[in-house]
Amino acid sequence: MPHQHFMLHKPYGYLSQFVGESKKKKRLGDLFPFPEGSMAIGRLDEASEGLLLLTTNGKVSTLITSSKLEKEYYAQVDGLITPEAVAQLQQGVEIGLRNEKYQTKPCWAYIPEIIPDFGERSRKIRDERHGPTSWVSITLTEGKNRQIRKMTAAVGFPTLRLVRVRIGAFHLGNLPVGEVLDITNQMEEMLQLHF
């Protein structure tokens, strides 16, 4: 049976997995009847949203996660982020990983003029009376645990909402929250070109 590949707009509050111990947690299989053997390529934590790729081919998952494909995120942060903070993000910042410090690699970051319409999140971010928020776009080629959240906190602007919008050539675009797109043909073409 040929392998299949999918793109999902993962909603807030879902784990990037199909099985687990807790019966109370929402998982990918609750969103769509993915074929048997499907797995997420990389992860988005439960509180993060946006582009998640899935495949029935474990070799594809390994190839994509081990390669240095760019991953672009939009982070809504607490406060009005400054150009100085963005410059720090671009140069790399020190974050904590387990019990050690880690210096992030230089990355591309900027304050976007136009924010995509991500729609309302199922859980409200917070009330406006608690102060302003702003958005920053960050593009990485690495992917440490909760890296974006730790990076924005390190420069004084904790992340309130995190949306992944791109992995390599795959863009979230206008895919509605919770919707799935079959990208089998596009993925196979990309694999032939790059791997």
What's the rounded Cα separation, in Å, for the pair 166 and 186?
Answer: 14
Active-site pick, 45, 78, 117, 182:
45
Token match 């675009």: residue?
173
Angstrom distance (rounded) from CA 65 to CA 58: 11
Residues present in the chain in total: 195
Can 45 be counted among the known catalytic residues?
yes
Residue with the two structure tokens 């998982």: 27
User: Residues 49, 162: contact at Cβ < 8 Å?
Assistant: yes
Q: Is 180 exposed, middle or buried (0-12, 13-18, 19+ CB in 10 A)?
A: middle
Any alpha helices (H) in the chain, and if so which ranges? Answer: 58-66, 83-91, 147-154, 184-194
Supply angle C-alpha 135, 120, 23, rounded to 5: 110
Tell me the backbone φ, ψ of residue 49, rounded to 5 degrees.
Answer: -125, 175
Residue 115 burial (CB count, 10 A): 12
Catalytic positions, written as ranges: 45
